């Protein structure tokens, strides 16, 4: 498994080595007001953290193995847990069960009070957060094999494996639910699995990567995907963005677009940045370009979140930017601790959360 991971990590590191200077931040008049409502500390984050929001709480984890549930309204700690080893992926939760994966490839699951329930090893590295639903914990390893565990006792229920590509991506993939179906990214394909048995219902390619070698053809789906009703949209790494009708198992549209980060979106629009941090908005129902924004070029943007009328994301200097989803114009800018924003923003009610590389957990509210 390590060879797979290091190849993709090398690929991403190679892209980052010769980056041009970040574009200086523009001067602007704030169009909306917003403020930091609380801050917490979780210790350095050196893995692709995807925080979770559930039932009025945020679930976050630091590289050192600590996992926390924090109240979204005031940052009060509901519980603190320890995975017992450095964390490689997380956090997945349904509010009752919370799971992370350690660098030793151990899936560690906690109960609703943060007590450790069980730990089970998987045979390869994990970078995607576990998905917890229906008293099951689903884990996808970097070779795209999906493992299903009983959330109560860690019993292994099934394993789904299809012949994989030689190279896979060291970035969180797609693992979500549509009604009673588990959706999993399998290379460029979105696969629908029956969650009790792990059998395949359908799979649909979101891209058709062209390239002369395995590195150029690497086009894994990057999660989390964007859902609106039965429409799921996602990015295929450096290749395309596309949308699938999960009810019919059919591709709605796909458009050749570069970029490595997960996309954001709402009912009407999808948003994403490319390899040079140019931001684009597309129509969600067909992929037409609505606007582009080149004011954040090479600023090391985080994943994004569409929160009502604003698009929210962080950058490598720890700034959090709020743009109009309709026009792409800057509405507000707020600071953190000056280290890169490493998590995509997540929302619980009116509270938005970002996490920095140094482990600052910042909660903001737009007024």
In angstroms, rounded to a whole number, what is the distance separating the alpha carbons of residues 360 and 310? 23
Cβ–Cβ under 8 Å, residues 66 and 107? no
Cβ–Cβ under 8 Å, residues 45 and 63? yes
State residue 211's pLDDT score: 65
- Which positions ≥6 away from 190 have C-beta within 8 Å? 174, 183, 184, 203, 204, 206, 221, 225, 232, 234, 244
Residue with tokens 């565990």: 149
pTM for this model (two decimals): 0.93
Q: How confident is the model at residue 55 (pLDDT cuts 50, 70, 90)?
A: very high
In angstroms, rounded to a whole number, what is the distance separating the alpha carbons of residues 364 and 248? 38
Q: What is the pLDDT of residues 270-306, one digit of tens each?
A: 999 999 999 999 999 999 999 999 999 999 999 999 9
3-class state of residue 298 by DSSP: coil
Q: What is the pLDDT of residues 79-128, one digit of tens each?
A: 999 999 999 999 999 999 999 999 999 999 999 999 999 999 999 999 99
- Which positions ≥6 away from 268 have C-beta within 8 Å? 283, 284, 285
Dihedral angle sign, alpha carbons of residues 291, 228, 307, 12 = negative
pLDDT above 70: residue 24? yes
Q: What is the pLDDT of residues 184-242, one digit of tens each?
A: 999 899 999 999 999 999 999 998 766 666 666 667 899 999 999 999 999 998 889 99
Q: How confident is the model at residue 5 (pLDDT cuts 50, 70, 90)?
A: very low
344 Ramachandran zone, left/alpha/beta (phi>0; psi -120 to 50): beta
């Amino acid at each position: 498994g390590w060879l797979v991971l290091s190849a993709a990590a090398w690929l991403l590191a190679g892209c980052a080595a010769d980056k041009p200077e970040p574009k200086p931040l523009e001067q602007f008049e704030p169009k909306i007001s917003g403020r930091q409502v609380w801050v917490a500390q979780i210790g350095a984050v050196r893995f692709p953290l995807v925080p979770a929001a559930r039932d009025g709480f945020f679930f976050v984890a630091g590289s050192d193995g600590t996992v926390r549930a924090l109240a979204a309204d005031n940052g009060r700690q509901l519980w603190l847990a320890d995975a017992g080893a450095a964390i490689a992926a997380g956090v997945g939760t349904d509010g009752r069960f919370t799971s992370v994966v350690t660098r030793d490839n151990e899936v560690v699951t906690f109960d609703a009070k943060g007590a450790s329930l069980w730990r089970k090893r998987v045979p390869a590295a994990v970078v995607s957060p576990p998905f917890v639903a229906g008293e099951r914990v689903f884990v996808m390893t970097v070779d795209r094999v999906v493992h299903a565990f009983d959330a109560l006792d860690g019993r292994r229920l099934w394993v789904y494996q299809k012949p994989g590509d030689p190279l896979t991506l060291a970035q969180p993939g797609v693992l979500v639910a549509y009604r009673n179906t588990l959706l999993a990214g399998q290379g460029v394909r979105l696969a629908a699995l029956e969650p009790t048995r792990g059998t395949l219902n359908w799979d649909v390619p979101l891209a058709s990567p062209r390239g002369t070698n395995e590195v150029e053809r690497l086009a894994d789906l990057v999660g989390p995907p964007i859902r609106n009703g039965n429409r799921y949209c996602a990015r295929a790494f450096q290749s395309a963005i596309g949308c699938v009708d999960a009810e019919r198992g059919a591709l709605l549209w796909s458009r050749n677009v570069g970029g490595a980060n997960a996309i954001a979106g709402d009912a009407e629009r999808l948003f994403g940045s490319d390899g040079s941090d140019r931001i684009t908005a597309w129509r969600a129902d067909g992929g037409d370009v609505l606007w582009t924004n080149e004011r954040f070029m090479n600023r090391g943007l985080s994943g994004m979140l569409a929160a009502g009328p604003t698009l929210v994301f962080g950058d490598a200097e720890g700034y959090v930017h709020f743009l109009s989803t309709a026009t792409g114009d800057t509405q507000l800018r707020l600071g953190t601790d000056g280290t890169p924003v490493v998590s995509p923003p997540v929302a619980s009610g009116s509270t938005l959360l970002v996490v920095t590389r140094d482990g600052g957990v910042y909660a903001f509210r737009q007024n």
